[in-house]
Homo-oligomer: A and B are copies of this chain.
Amino acid sequence: MKVVTFGEIMLRLAPPGFERFLQTPQFVATFGGAEANVAVALASFGLPASFVTVLPANAIADAAVAELRRFGVDTSRIVRASGRLGVYYLEAGANQRPSRIVYDRDHSAMALAKPGDISWQPVLAEAKWFHITGITPALSSSAADLALESVRSAHAAGLTVSCDLNYRKNLWKWGKTAREVLPEFVKLTDVLIANEEDIQVALGLEAEVDIQSGQLDRAQYEKLAGRVRSAYPNLRAIAITLRESLSASHNGWSACLHDGQHFLTSHRYDITHIVDRVGAGDCFAAGLIYGMLNGLTGQETLEFAVAASCLKHSIPGDFSRVSVTEVNALLKEGGSGRVQR
């Protein structure tokens, strides 16, 4: 049941607590990136996961690889080449002050990578699932080509392909827009993950949902899923996450899934004391993959993915560090938070 994820991993630099950048001369230094986050979450669920990327040959990149290895992620297929290790700076928000990200990922080894740099055949051998996101095609023209090559290879090799659209408006500076590039990926995708903004911007499908209001009309989501299914009949499943942003500290979190047969909606979690929401969507994707690979029903899969990613909000860093036992405990006993002793 090996899963391969492919994308960029970056050094993440965040001030301590709720400080603004450089208020104290210190950064909490971890690693993250959508596809690496999915690999770590899958490994934490006990699945064999392999992460593929292109990194420079220096001591900081070595530390990124070591950190992935710590979670049991297979890193043996990572390629070393010229270019930088991408960096992103994250300032955690609170209340009405939003979290802020400053990207410093231009000219990364991943952005410089191009078709042919990775031998897909050995990477995909013995794997059943391939996961990518819409971030890699946003990095550069060559990275977009390489990403497309990866998806074609996985598709050709008979793997299930999942894609999380993950639209990032501050990327996509290399010439083409998400709308021009991503549809081709979706045509090769089996399982699509997105939020309402992704679908509108990247696929150009209209949603009658107001992404700013913090109020969600679940009925509209069924319509939206339907539109995606019509436009991309190749999709076996479509998952849409629903984040109600009440403040930087307090979100509602739920999701819906069209599993090919039914439109399903999940339990809604009220997350009142967000510790770190970065990577929660990636944990959702991992939960979805976990459920599908383990033969859970559509509803079970959806609830597992939402519960796992709900828990991610309570953990600092991009990585999820949540076990299947913990997800199941939340599903079974609810989130009353009684001390486990």
Contacts and interface: CB of A to CB of B under 8 A. Distances in A.
A69 interface: yes
Contacts of A220: none
A340 B106 CA distance: 18
A212 B337 CA distance: 10
Contacts of A330: 96-97
Contact of A26 (B28, B310, B340): B28
Given A69-B72, A91-B59, A314-B18, A246 B25 contact: no
Contacts of A247: 272-273, 335-337
Nearest to A21: B59
Contacts of A102: 58-60
Contacts of A275: 17-18, 94-95
A272 B246 CA distance: 11
Contact of A95 (B28, B29, B85, B273): B273
Interface in A11-55: 13, 17-30
Nearest to A19: B316
16 contacts: A17-B316, A20-B321, A22-B63, A24-B25, A25-B28, A26-B28, A66-B71, A67-B70, A69-B72, A70-B70, A93-B339, A96-B271, A97-B311, A247-B336, A247-B337, A250-B272
Given A94-B314, A95-B274, A250-B272, 16 more contacts: A18-B275, A18-B314, A22-B60, A24-B26, A59-B102, A66-B72, A67-B70, A84-B104, A85-B104, A96-B307, A97-B335, A98-B336, A101-B340, A170-B341, A245-B337, A249-B273
